[in-house]
Structure 1
């Protein structure tokens, strides 16, 4: 089933998260980060941060706090058995730190296909802002959907 290009422009409910220092330490350990600024408050402050900074890819996890973080795919008629994570990119505007209240606001910005419809692509962009509205980062995710019935 082809992904409807009319989805372009669709916005999804925002997800808000208060950044927790313990969670940042856990995330840093999970990704193998060894720089002490991500796990030790004294090291972070010595480096000029007011608190532990958010590791670079942590922001992707904010949307996963949503009760139905992949529901938009089901609503688009996508069979999750054929989904691949194709690409992820981040454009940073400022550094978030423990204690910040961050909001992720996602929307679909493109839908296209390749190989005669055998591969469909859904592009989702997410703005991450602080409670005061200041920009933290813009995330871009490309989801690839294999369509076994097309292009044959």
Structure 2
């Protein structure tokens, strides 16, 4: 089982820049067809300064968290081969665009068990701000750990 002492743990903050090529690739991968996600002229014509982030792109950007930030997992008893992505939700406060540097401040907010301890759930919340310290989004995700 996962050590519940990690509840309240603040992870080291990190930043990642949303690259236009990544945005186009992601939009294509999810089957997006709206040209504002591929064509900068179409994005400007729609009132955007450049390509906007597709709605769920923050998930993949958060995967760029440096590997050195994973030591909390080992301390909690999390074994990566036993992890599944549980769920993800996004609350947006403003748009983010290609070229923005997004800052992630993350915290473990809950750990709970199901199926008589066979599964542990770790819930993390991240506050995302841009290079101007504007609040872009709140991301909440849970990972599921299959216990031995």
Taking structure 1 as the reference length, the TM-score comes to: 0.90
2:44 is matched with which residue? 45
Map of 1:123-142 to 2, 5 A cutoff? Answer: 123-142=123-142
Taking structure 2 as the reference length, the TM-score comes to: 0.92
Any conservation in 2 of the 1:25–1:39 contact (CA below 8 Å)? yes
Map of 1:1-152 to 2, 5 A cutoff? Answer: 2-68=1-67, 70-148=70-148
CA RMSD of aligned residues (A): 1.4
Gaps of 5+ in 1: none
Q: Secondary structure at the match of 1:133?
A: coil
- Matched length: 147
Shift of 1:37: 0.5
Give the distance between the partners of 1:57 and 1:70, measured in 2 at CA: 22
Gaps of 5+ in 2: none
